[in-house]
Structure formats: C-alpha cells, structure tokens
Amino acid sequence: MKKRLLGMSFLAVLCLNITSNVFAEEVVKTISSEQTVTSTSENLEDASTIEATEATTEEGSVVTENSDTMTSSEQEISQDNNNQVAEDVNPSEITTEEGTFYLPSGRSDAPSLFRSAKASIPVVQATDNNTPTKSFIDVSSHNGTISVEAYQSMKKYGVTGVVVKLTQGTWYTNPFAASQINNARAAGLKVSAYHYSEFITDAQAIAEASFFATSANALGLAKGTVMVNDIEEPKIAGKGDHTANSRAFAARLNQLGFGNVRHYVGLNWITSGRINAGSLGNKNIWVAAYPYNLSQNNLYTQYGAWQWNSQLRFPNINVNFDISADYTGAFINPPQSDSVAMHRLYNPNSSEHFYTQNGIEKDILVSKGWRYEGIGWNAPTSGAPVYRLYNPNAGDHHYTLNFFEKENLVKLGWRYEGISWYSGGNITLLRLYNPNAKAGAHHYTMNVNEKNNLVRLGWRYEGLAWYGK
C-alpha cells in the first residue's frame, strides 16, 4: 500500500512538473473564479493549490522541489521528461537548405519569464561587415535605458530603426518603453512597437490588441506606427489557430486606428504550419532564425524582415541587441523627400553587386536568384549624373561619375545604359577594384569598415565614387 501511494504521489508531482515546465510562472490577475486577465491563465492552476516550491533553472524550465515525495534521482527523471516535451513542441534548432539555425522563443522580459538564448549563438560586433544587413534593432526592458548618444552611435553602422516592446498579454507593460522611445526619436531613428502575445483565442487576441493600442496611445505613438504581433511564447504553441488569432489581433488594431501591423515569428512556426505566412501576407512577416555561421547573405527575403542575431554589440555600449535586416523599408527611416533609396543586390553565381533605385527591377532580379542586401544609400533626385554601363562579354555592370571614363568604356565595347542616379549630399561612396575578378570587379560602399576589409582581402581602393545622402 505504501509503495502504491508513493507511486501515485510521484505521478502527481511529475504531472505538476510537466505542467509547470510548459506554462512558466507568471503574474495572474484574477477577474473572477472562472476568468482571468491573461490569455494563458485558463491553462494554469491556482498557485494556492500547488504546495511544492518552484525554482527556475538556467534554461527556463521549472523543477518542483518536494523532499517528502520525490528523491533527487526522481527529480532528474522528471526534469529530463519535461525538457524533452518542451524540445518537441518548440525545437531550439532548424536545418534548412541555407544551413542550421538557432530558433529564438520564449524571450519575454516580464519578471520570472525570461529564458536566455544559447551561448553558442555568435556574438557579433557592429564593426563586423561579414554579416547580413544591419537595418534595425529591437529592445525591451532587458536593454534598460538607452541614451540619445547611444542611439546616435548605432546609426554609424547602418541602424536607422528600433522596435520597442510595449506590452505583454493584458497584464505587463515595459517600464523602460517611454525613455527608449523618446531617446530614439531624439536620435532620429524610426520607432516601431511590439506586443509579446499570449492569446490562443480570437477573444483573447482582441483583448491583447486593445491593451497594446492603449499603451501606444499613452506613449504618443502615431497611428501610422508599425505595430508588431510577437508570436514566440512556447506555452501557447499549438493551442489555438495562431493564424486566425493573429488576423483577429491585426483587425482589432485596425479598428483602433493602427493600420500598419506586422507579425514576428520564429521560422519553425512557419515550417511547422502553425503560422500561414501567405495568409497573413509574406511581406508582413518578420521572421527569426539565427545562423551559427555568419556571412553577408541576406536570407528569407520572401518575408518583410529577418532577425538574424540576438547578440549584436556596439562600441562603448555594454548591452547586446537583437538585430534584423529590413527588406521592405517598413522598420527604417525612409529617404528624405528629395532623395531615393538605392537598392543593393548580390549575384552569388558571378559575385557581382548591382545597384538600382528601381523597385521593380530589384524584385525581378530577386526572383531570378539575386540576393537583396538592403538599402545601400540614398541618392538625391538631382545633381551630377552617375552613368551605368554593361559589359556584354563579362556580363557585369559598371557605374561612374566620370563622363570621360564612360565614353572610353563605350569605345571598348561597353553598352551605355543611361543615367542610373545622381550624386550629391554629404555621404561619401567609396570605390574598390578586384584585379582577380572576371565579373563584379568594382564594388561601391559608404561603409569604411567594409572598404578596409576588402582592401585586406586584396581589393584596390580607388577613392571617391560619388556622394549620397
């Protein structure tokens, strides 16, 4: 009889452990005995009925300690089972044709819910140019107060936007949001906002969207602000129709005047079918997948943005940042009214870089296998012309501000394709030449670190190419 009771006790505690691991400890505000504010509270037992003391481990799992009913070996078995359940529902890695990626999830900044990323994700220095495009960061209370000067320094490395966490569920507000927003504005960055979602029904999605909008209004965010639905919480995975719920979330924000809604998801939420990206609009998707081995390749360009690392470090700023590449310009500052964005693309077969202000031309090239690397610079709408030429033998393009160079190349058989853009402004575009390349022999960049890196690799620096804004 004692053995039977011990077995039943162990089974009961084991069940509690599994429940505790899936539904992390959080603050729950009770509305009534049958309803709570948080969307996930329907799945949680009242804390008063759980006598065991919970301790959160490094990986964010929960171990229930009760020396009267469980031995240490039994606790180990229970914990292993819990970890396996969590891993099955929310894998930490995914392997695709592009490589193996770490999958971020459950990174809430709310008290007692934070689960840290794996240490194997590479730390990236902002000065490193062997990376995807650094377009915008996102921040929460983890990042604390960020000064105007810190934001301004980020712009030197191409960052022109920040997405600030405002809310979570219907119970949490980021205490640093106001200063993070105001200082970013003062530094000239584009500010967007995100909500860490917990909903698993349309009704909960509507309630959370309303809570999100109320916070945005209180912080003075304009109705045109990009508002992000952050779907990553492990404990809600597979517990609702996430696509339909996300549509309800977006529709409610639209009703409240916020018409610019995006959806942040880990790549595995799409590949597993939990989120139908096409239904929400591919370009409305901000996808997350962290490569272990970095390169300049911008991946997942079929979506609106790609978060590719969570450990970006800027000089003299003692905190890491999430970093993303923006493929639509939604999260970054638009070019000035008297300038146009210059798109930069890369051909992995010929190694040629291509530059154009024509969005249609850019999209056609992407459909043919070119990799979109983001906005290279902003060009004025008038000024000194920059000429574009094509070499039919090598199959690459050349751009020059020099009329006589253009004329000489035409005599040598290059085809003149007209004025591509104009030069003007206070940003210097640098020109480099690769003596070993058969195609893509010239490269143009405003990034001094990229220029220096290419020179170390054997490229010849040829000086000023033209000016941009």
The enclosing H or E element of 341 equals strand 339-346
Burial of 97 (0-12, 13-18, 19+ CB in 10 A): exposed
State whether 351 and 263 are in the same domain. Answer: no
* Same domain, residue pair 303 and 378: no
**215 with 302, same domain?**
yes
Same domain, 277 and 343: no
In this structure, what token pair is assigned to residue 221?
């965010």
Lowest-pLDDT range of 30-34, 263-267, 322-326, 360-364: 30-34
Q: What angle do CA 277, 241, 45 make, to 5 degrees?
A: 135
Structure tokens belonging to residue 129:
């140019």
Interval 31-62: pLDDT, tens:
333 333 333 334 333 333 333 333 333 333 33
How far lies 419's CA from each of 282, 344, 361, in Å?
Answer: 33, 17, 15
Do 273 and 223 belong to one domain? yes
Question: What's the whole-number mean pLDDT along residues 304-313?
Answer: 96
Report the alpha-carbon distance of residue 185 to residue 221 in Å, rounded. 11
Residue 336 is predicted with a pLDDT of 65
CATH number at residue 290: 3.20.20.80
Q: Is the pLDDT of residue 91 over 90?
A: no
Q: Amino acid identity, residue 44?
A: L
181 plus 261 within the same structural domain: yes
Q: Are residues 248 and 283 in the same domain?
A: yes
Answer yes or no: do 356 and 282 share one domain.
Answer: no
Helices (H), strands (E): how many in the chain? 11, 24
Is residue 257 located within the same domain as residue 343? no
Q: Quick check: is 67 in a domain?
A: no
**Structural domain boundaries, residue 257:** 93-326
Q: What six digits make up the tokens of 450?
A: 């990229």
Would you say residue 440 has pLDDT above 80?
Answer: no
**pLDDT for the residue numbered 111:** 60
User: In the structure, what pLDDT confidence band is assigned to residue 144 with cuts at 50, 70 and 90?
Assistant: very high
Q: Report the mean per-residue pLDDT for the chain.
A: 81
Q: How confident is the model at residue 88 (pLDDT cuts 50, 70, 90)?
A: low
Question: CA-to-CA distance for 427 and 378, rounded, in angstroms?
Answer: 9
Yes or no: say if 345 and 366 are a contact pair by the CB < 8 Å rule. yes
Which of 22-31, 110-119, 298-307, 316-325 has the least mean pLDDT? 22-31
- Both 108 and 231 in one domain: the answer is yes
* 5 inside domain: no
List the structure tokens of 439: 């195609």
Using pLDDT thresholds of 50, 70 and 90, give the confidence band for residue 210. Answer: very high
Number of domains in the chain: 2
Percentages (nearest 5) of helix, strand, coil residues in the chain: 30, 30, 40
167-199 residue pLDDT tens: 999 999 999 999 999 999 999 999 999 999 999
Model confidence at 374: pLDDT above 80: no
Query: Do residues 352 and 464 share a domain?
Result: yes
Residues 105 and 176 in one domain: yes
Query: In the chain, what percentage of residues exceed pLDDT 70?
Result: 78
Among residues 193, 156, 152, the alpha carbon closest in space to that of 176 is found at: 193
Is residue 222 within 8 Å of residue 190, measured between CB atoms?
A: no
Cα–Cα distance measured from residue 13 to residue 332, given in angstroms and rounded to the nearest whole number: 50
